[in-house]
Structure 1
Amino acid sequence: MSGLLRLVPDEPEPAHALAAAAPRARARPRWAADPLDELAEELGGVCAAAVHPDEIAAVLEADGLTGDQIAERYGRHDAFELAAELYARVPRSHPEPDPRPDPWRVAPGPFLLRSLIFTLPGLGYALASPLTDGNRESPGLPAGTGALVVSALVAWAWNQALAHRAYTRLAAGGRAAAGRSLATGAPLGALLATGAALALPAPAGAHAFAAGQVLYLAAATVLLVLGRERLLLGALLPTATGGAVLLFTQPPPGVGVALLLASTGGALFAAGHEIARTRREEGAPAAGPPAPSPLASVPFGLFGLGCGALTALAALGESAVHRTGGAGGPAVLALTLSMGAAEWLLHRCRGLALAALAAATTTTGLLIRAVRVLTLCVTGYLAALTVLALAVGALWPGAPPPDAVRLTALLALGAVLWSGLLLQAHGVAWLPALLCLGAAGTQAAALALSLWAPATGQLLICTGAAAVLLAVATALLGRITTHR
């Protein structure tokens, strides 16, 4: 009976006994604020992003909370116990990082300017036609074509390698170091290219024009590397004026020669002035990586040689085979006009690839996003090239409209050039160089053996080369290490 009577107490239990029986089970009254809730709200971002309670404990200790303060304010033994409870209370929430600024985002305006700079020198060939044609009476290519093409290819290859070397010196030693490379390399390249032209038989006027051509290319390389595009455009104004006159009438030979001399002389003067300025800027070298060996620029020169040969074959293949004027002139003009868009899309491709890396969560996802980026940029460039080819074909006097085969062949050549430049921008230089040289050699052999029509051979060979380059570019952009 005494046990049963204990089930119904006659008097209340002591307060300390109730507290010992269930110290944490009793609900806190509404009016009693829990200081731990306030702390959890204050450190909500830290607690949600933490991957271990020790991260929260480190923040608590950094805030200056001592063990005595923690025991007095929150009733916990130390920072680790307090951090463990905060970690359990706050749900995990890892916010997305703030979007990084795109280092490759650039305005298209400067690239439109570069398109004009790449295109206007082509008008010089029309102005100099009385010099380069000689006294030819038979159809086909002028007698001085070989000297002009060889000198242009040598100058193109040399200046591509020189530009790469000067850019590396610019990064490692500043404008003064780049100026020294250009001051030595530009005259040497002009001398080599002029010697290559003089080694081939040609009219005296063709030899003179070849010499002026290589001098202009050397000066243009200096100005482009040093970022003086506007000066170069100013030097080209006389040639542009002559091109405008050609739309209405053929100017006298003396006028055309004078305009060409004015452009070449202006470019040489501007280049010399800029090199002199770099010498006055001599000082402490710029902070940057050491410049690589000059041999590192060789594949860039070979790529320039391959691209130049492919472009020359596209321009002259029809005339060389059929002994008549073909559609090569409008096609090459459209190609040079598209180079500004090509450079801008190269920047956009690199920026979009970085965004794809930030958004991807797996290597497969990165590869899929890289394919999308590459497809978007290549399609955009080929669309621009198509529009330009159709526009130039419609405006070119006496030129037939481009048919499906010629237009597709031009797009294949554009894809080769663009994808090769993309690989070079990511440090892959030898593959596009050797592939472009191989494609040019194969196309020249096919023309010599009359295996295909010039446009058909260009279409087949450039399509194969573009497929290989784009496949390598896809694999490259799909690697995480590429974007470091």
Structure 2
Amino acid sequence: MAIRLAGARPPRRRPRWALDDATLAIRLPRSGPDEQAVSELAAELADRIGPAVHPYEVAALLEAEGLSASVISERYGHPNLFSLASALYERVPRSFPEPAPAADPWRRPDTLRCLLRGVLFALPGLAYLLAAPLWDTGGYAPALIVAGLVSWAWGQALGHRAHLRMTAGRREAGRTLLAGSPAGAAVATAVAALPADGGPVTLVAAAQSAYLAAAGVLLVLGRERLLLAALSPLLAGAAVLPWWQPGPVLRAGLPLLALLATLTVTGWVLRGALAVPAAAGATRPRLLWSLPYGLFGLAAGVLVLLEGREEPYAVIVLTLSMGPAEWLLYRYRGLSVAALRATATPTAFLLRSAGILGLCLLAYLAPLLPAALLTGADPVALLLLAAVLWTALLLQAFGAAWPSAGICLTAAGGAGAVVVFHLPPGAALALPLGCGAAALCLSACALWLLGRPAPHA
């Protein structure tokens, strides 16, 4: 057993006003506050008095410093603590330190991932390039187009619902995709069988619908690289076409191999998502919430189809541009957050928001102009259609899905009616006029809804 003496505690730091309390002093009574002593105390505590918003905060600070009533009365000449606190509060100017800037999740978008998604949107077209000599393109086109439109609309709605479920957990999103993707492929195939009269084109439509459903699952779950690997047979087959024409077996086998690889990878990814523990208390979002996203997918598909009737290469350009379009959506949100921090009035934010919208649209449309001229497409129709799609996606990113869906459906319905029924002003002007009006309405809607600070806070 040993007895240890407690070590001496370090001396406590004492305020300057208390350093000479150990010295006996005779003080003559004053008739008022000692301004010099109060000024010295204010200078000593200025860094802590400055951020105060009320004298009571200064009073709490003085109490924490240990100022007694006798010290306040004798040294500073104030009758009580609150009188001295008020004097210090008035003497020290307000200085509110700026808080540390919050992290901006939109500042650095994943550029490689966005570009890869744009490439993945266009890569399935290589399957049609490889298999084109094996079928009647004109006879198969209606069924494949109908199946594609249904798959596009279904995929947009299902993707939105899966992202809503993702907030509860990856397992919940996986269950939604597992139930919705096969159903969407079945519906698209059934609809395509109507114009095909149940012929062999139905099998091609079924394969197309199955791929679109599986690819949608991988894109929602963020497995773009796996999808790229699954599509590698298409890349290999298309790469040799300029120098060597493969036989029918390879032309049919490579797309089929890519489809099987995509389905296999999708099943493996879904299995991993379903292995995650279920979230407690997860609620299912209403189906109606995803309806406008599906309607927008249908309208966008019709608009792209109308553009592709006259300019098929323009559709390829537009598809590849979806990657940069997604990147610009991230940049718009990041720039808007920066504008929110830099402006002090709603009018200033509205003006800056309008500038950001114009800048992002210009950055998206500028590369499309030389691409349209290079492919021989009409640049006016392509740029207006691209502006419609990007602005609608912007509104959807902020939850304003019904305005974008309604405007795009109106434009698609009007342009489609002009083309089908040969109405004035004619098929050549139907799409540019419809997209131009839709772009103006969507831009005005974006300024009205997103030109306020609330959506960006």
TM-score range, shorter chain: 0.7 to 0.9
| Compared CA separation, residues 70 and 383, structure 1 to 2 (3 A) | farther
| Compared CA separation, residues 386 and 55, structure 1 to 2 (3 A) | farther
Q: 1:59: how far off?
A: 3.5
Question: Is the Cα–Cα contact under 8 Å of residues 147 and 202 in structure 1 kept in the other structure?
Answer: no
Which of 156, 163, 175 does residue 159 from structure 2 map onto?
163
> In the aligned structure 2, how far is the partner of 1:431 from the partner of 1:342?
20
| Compared CA separation, residues 97 and 454, structure 1 to 2 (3 A) | farther
> In the aligned structure 1, how far is the partner of 2:273 from the partner of 2:291?
25
> In the aligned structure 2, how far is the partner of 1:73 from the partner of 1:312?
87
Q: 1:161: how far off?
A: 0.7
| Compared CA separation, residues 236 and 202, structure 1 to 2 (3 A) | farther
The answer for the alignment partner of 1:241 in structure 2 is: 236
The answer for the alignment partner of 1:397 in structure 2 is: none
Q: Secondary structure at the residue paired with 1:49? A: coil
Task: With the length of structure 1 as denominator, give the TM-score of the two structures.
Answer: 0.82
Q: 1:306: how far off?
A: 0.6
> In the aligned structure 2, how far is the partner of 1:63 from the partner of 1:154?
73
The CA deviation string for residues 49-98 of structure 1, in whole angstroms up to 9 with x for no partner, is: 33433333343345554434544554433332222222222233444443
| Compared CA separation, residues 201 and 418, structure 1 to 2 (3 A) | same
The answer for the alignment partner of 1:300 in structure 2 is: 293
In the TM superposition, 1:104-115 aligns within 5 A as 104-105=106-107, 106-115=109-118
In the TM superposition, 1:60-99 aligns within 5 A as 60-71=62-73, 74-99=76-101
Q: 1:251: how far off?
A: 3.0
Amino acid aligned to 1:313 = L
Q: Structure 2, unaligned stretches of length 5 or more?
A: 1-25
Question: Is the Cα–Cα contact under 8 Å of residues 132 and 203 in structure 1 kept in the other structure?
Answer: no
| Compared CA separation, residues 84 and 332, structure 1 to 2 (3 A) | same
> In the aligned structure 2, how far is the partner of 1:472 from the partner of 1:68?
67
| Compared CA separation, residues 367 and 254, structure 1 to 2 (3 A) | same
| Compared CA separation, residues 251 and 438, structure 1 to 2 (3 A) | farther
The answer for the alignment partner of 1:325 in structure 2 is: none
Larger CA deviation: 421-430 vs 95-104: 95-104
Check if 1:438 corresponds to 2:434.
no
| Compared CA separation, residues 373 and 309, structure 1 to 2 (3 A) | same
Identity, in percent, stands at: 47
> In the aligned structure 2, how far is the partner of 1:417 from the partner of 1:444?
17
The CA deviation string for residues 96-122 of structure 1, in whole angstroms up to 9 with x for no partner, is: 443322121223121111111111112
The answer for the alignment partner of 2:395 in structure 1 is: 423
The answer for the alignment partner of 1:207 in structure 2 is: 202
> In the aligned structure 2, how far is the partner of 1:63 from the partner of 1:457?
78
| Compared CA separation, residues 382 and 79, structure 1 to 2 (3 A) | farther
In the TM superposition, 1:4-403 aligns within 5 A as 36-71=38-73, 74-105=76-107, 106-133=109-136, 142-172=138-168, 174-201=169-196, 204=199, 206-285=201-280, 290-316=283-309, 318=310, 328-390=311-373, 393=375, 401-402=376-377
Q: 1:188: how far off?
A: 0.5
> In the aligned structure 2, how far is the partner of 1:61 from the partner of 1:24?
19
| Compared CA separation, residues 455 and 111, structure 1 to 2 (3 A) | farther
| Compared CA separation, residues 249 and 333, structure 1 to 2 (3 A) | farther
Q: 1:470: how far off?
A: 0.8
The answer for the alignment partner of 1:11 in structure 2 is: none
Which of 430, 435, 446 does residue 457 from structure 1 map onto?
430
Task: With the length of structure 2 as denominator, give the TM-score of the two structures.
Answer: 0.86
Question: Is the Cα–Cα contact under 8 Å of residues 176 and 278 in structure 1 kept in the other structure?
Answer: yes
| Compared CA separation, residues 55 and 476, structure 1 to 2 (3 A) | farther
Aligned length: 429
> In the aligned structure 1, how far is the partner of 2:254 from the partner of 2:123?
13
